A and B are shown apart, each in its own frame.
Chain A
Amino acid sequence: MRRMAAGANRTGLIIVGLISLGAGFAALAISFGLAATAAPGLSPDAQLQPIAAVFALPFSAGIALVAALILAMIGVRWLAVQVPRKDSAKPLRMQEDSRSGVTTVTANVVAAAVEDDLEATPEVVDAQAILRGTARRPELILHVDVDERADFDTVVADIAERVACNCSQALGVPLSAVGVEIGIARSRQRRQRSVQL
């Protein structure tokens, strides 16, 4: 249902890996004395004091602080990306001719209607819906919790024949994709306590 930050994680790990690989090769080059030709003084038995002296500037602390802040911002950004997100569609603009006015409906409004529609299905205890895509190519992602004794085929058929068709009819275009995830509701608190005849 919710999208994870797998792509961002892969990108971040590739960047960290490349930096670590570069640092490793640099350390190997220094230890084997290969870096001495490119940077005199970087030999395995060299004193590092001259190099350290280069960084002993009056504003070194400031540079370190700025670098730390940048790293912290990257870290916070990475943490924020880790939060699973719905990636709902942007507000749908549905008018034929915008000169006479615009019609907007948010993905959450459509999703709420689909959820209500789903919960009208017998044996469905709870439902969540997410509308993704665009007004011309909408995609519907559903998660339904059904009674443990429910007939899954009936539930899936009802979703395909009624719920998805209703959503498509409301949006005025066919759904380009429908994803359904079915869970089992075992909680006793959700058990039906009454029947209306």
Chain B
Amino acid sequence: MASSRGGLTIADRVIEKTASQILKSLPGVGGAKSGLFGFGSNADLDSRPSVDVTLSGRSCTLEVHLGLAYPSPITEATESVRRRLSTDVEALTGVSVHQVDVAVKWLKPHTSGSGSSVRHLK
């Protein structure tokens, strides 16, 4: 009997971290580097987006806070995020993803990053 071999419990934090790590691997998707008590945090395409999970039985709803590369189409990028999370989270954790709500927190142009006071000669 399978129950005699013990049970497997997956905490919601595990699903959050898993989803967050999946998102980090996607190009053009980023999070925010956390600062001290929320101060000094800054948007970064190399950081992991934050994910909140709400478990309901063996399925879950994900709420993702992320940033995207600008000017990539927001709808296409977030649909890609949704598809990827739906398949990979279930494959890795066994918990099916019911819905993925995405809140885009920032859009970062590819050209930003250099100091605004510094101009390039053309």
Contacts and interface: CB of A to CB of B under 8 A. Distances in A.
Interface of A: 94-96, 99-105, 109-110, 112-113, 116-117, 119-120, 122, 165-167, 169-172, 192-197
Contacts of A96: 75, 79
Contact of B101 (A101, A110, A112, A117): A101
A171 B78 CA distance: 12
Contacts, number: 102
B99 interface: yes
Nearest to A102: B101
26 contacts: A99-B99, A101-B61, A101-B62, A101-B82, A101-B99, A101-B100, A101-B102, A103-B74, A103-B78, A103-B101, A103-B102, A103-B104, A104-B102, A104-B103, A104-B104, A105-B103, A116-B109, A116-B112, A117-B111, A165-B71, A169-B72, A169-B73, A170-B71, A170-B73, A192-B119, A196-B114
B33 interface: no
Nearest to B85: A101
A190 B119 CA distance: 12
B100 A100 contact: yes
Contacts of A99: 99
Contact of A170 (B70, B102, B121): B70
A109 B120 contact: no
B5 interface: no
B71 A94 contact: no
Nearest to B83: A100
A94 B118 CA distance: 35
Given A104-B103, A193-B117, A116 B74 contact: no
